[in-house]
Amino acid sequence: MNASAGGQEFEFTDSDFNRLRDLVYAHTGIALSDAKRQLVYSRLARRLRKLNLTTFGEYCSTVEAGGAEEMQELTNAITTNLTSFFREQYHFDQLAAEALPQAQNQRAATRRVRLWSAGCSTGEEPYSIAIVLREAFARLQNWDVKLLATDIDSKVVQTAAAGVYDAERLKGMSVERRTRWFTRDAAGPDTYSAATELKSLITFKKLNLLDPWPMKGPFDIIFCRNVVIYFDKDTQRRLFERMAETQQVGGWLFIGHSENLFNVTRRYKLVGRTVYRRTE
């Protein structure tokens, strides 16, 4: 195939990029900056090849013509899924030391605790939470504890639900935890599968945070880390307002290390390093 101007395989004009930006923003709330232009090109070029298209203009028209399948392919392509087990360890320390004991005390009558990992990516975050849950609730019988894990990217949700990781991915945890909570998988000599005890705590679902939410809560603890950095302030305000409505006073919210709620919402109070609690 002949290269377009600039040496690129496909023609990719300002108009094409702006059309894609508008589509992505309307569907996902993600605001793509000019700096993301090359990333968008490189990630979507494979879709053009697969669809036998010759320009991004044709691709834009294909997406705009409707069809949830290609919109999902576009979403999967432009979302970033950088994650690891026990990433930002201080959050899991505070989860174990403060958030879970508080939830246990608050829910002593019902013995029901609900958590949500919003933007679960390939599953390292929810499985890390599940490990802390199993360790925290190990001596408590007959508790109803469930973790909802969601992501807009359908492919990473499938990966997360499978719960199979190579040894390199497990370096974020201690040998003791790896031995306790993962077993060697038949897929390969250095491949490990999450224990059934972890999987049984988690429900994985594809969810676009801009869409109506099928769950109502209340969630005692929400992890929404490194998600809203891709949203503009108005979208962040709407999102955290909706999250606050799914939590009761005292509910916990964990966000990413480079995120904050300043000038976004007054529904949460800072109580730790990017850790908040729901206020009146």
Is residue 157 domain-resident?
A: yes
The CATH number assigned to the domain holding 64 equals: 1.10.155.10
Same domain membership, residue 256 and residue 230: yes
Is residue 84 domain-resident?
A: no
Phi, psi (degrees; rounded to nearest 5) at 188: 175, 165
Sheet holding 164-166, edge to edge: 164-166, 191-194, 182-184
The confidence score (pLDDT) of residue 5 equals 47
Same domain membership, residue 123 and residue 44: no
Q: Which of these is catalytic: 151, 220, 225, 278? A: 151
Same domain membership, residue 225 and residue 180: yes
Write the pLDDT tens digit of every residue in 183-230: 987 767 789 999 999 999 999 999 999 999 999 889 999 999 999 988
Same domain membership, residue 119 and residue 23: no
| Residue 185 annotated in active site | no
β-strand pairing of 268-272 with 221-224: unpaired
Same domain membership, residue 256 and residue 209: yes
How many beta carbons lie within 10 A of that of residue 58, not counting itself? 15
Is residue 182 domain-resident?
A: yes
Q: Which of these is catalytic: 43, 111, 169, 177? A: 43
**Is the separation of the CB atoms in 232 and 31 below 8 Å?**
yes
Collapsed DSSP state (helix, strand, coil) of residue 48: helix
The confidence score (pLDDT) of residue 142 equals 86
Write the pLDDT tens digit of every residue in 88-117: 999 999 999 999 999 999 999 999 999 999
**Is the separation of the CB atoms in 120 and 151 below 8 Å?**
yes
Same domain membership, residue 30 and residue 126: no
- Angle, CA 51 vertex, CA 45 and CA 52 arms, to 5°: 85
Side-chain-side CA neighbours of residue 108 (13 Å): 4
Same domain membership, residue 216 and residue 156: yes
pLDDT < 70 stretches in the chain: 1-7, 139-140, 187
Same domain membership, residue 135 and residue 23: no
69: burial class by Cβ within 10 Å (0-12, 13-18, 19+)?
Answer: exposed
The packing angle between helices 154-162 and 68-78, to 10°, is: 70
Same domain membership, residue 241 and residue 137: yes
Instruction: Say which residues have a Cβ less than 8 Å from residue 151's Cβ, sequence separation at least 6.
Output: 119, 120, 121, 157, 160, 206, 207
Which helix (H) or strand (E) is 212 found in, with range?
none
Beta bridge partners of 148: 116, 203
The confidence score (pLDDT) of residue 140 equals 66
Beta bridge partners of 164: 193
Same domain membership, residue 266 and residue 139: yes
The whole-angstrom separation of Cα 107 and Cα 84 is 30
Query: Domain range holding 65?
Result: 5-78
| Residue 22 annotated in active site | no
Same domain membership, residue 197 and residue 63: no
In the chain, the number of structural domains is: 2
Is residue 9 domain-resident?
A: yes
Beta bridge partners of 182: 194
Domain end point (choices 78, 105, 138) = 78
The confidence score (pLDDT) of residue 2 equals 38
Residue whose structure tokens are 């990217």: 153
Same domain membership, residue 255 and residue 160: yes
**Is the separation of the CB atoms in 60 and 20 below 8 Å?**
yes
The CATH number assigned to the domain holding 134 equals: 3.40.50.150
Is residue 228 domain-resident?
A: yes
* Alpha helices per DSSP H over 148-269: 154-162, 175-181, 196-199, 233-245
Collapsed DSSP state (helix, strand, coil) of residue 185: coil
State the pTM of this model: 0.88
**Nearest CA-CA partner of 115 in 148, 156, 78:** 148
Which helix (H) or strand (E) is 148 found in, with range?
strand 144-151
The confidence score (pLDDT) of residue 7 equals 60
Domain end point (choices 45, 78, 111) = 78
Domain end point (choices 25, 50, 78) = 78
**Nearest CA-CA partner of 157 in 108, 208, 95, 106:** 208
Is residue 43 domain-resident?
A: yes
Tokens standing for residue 147: 């973790």
The confidence score (pLDDT) of residue 139 equals 67
Is residue 34 domain-resident?
A: yes
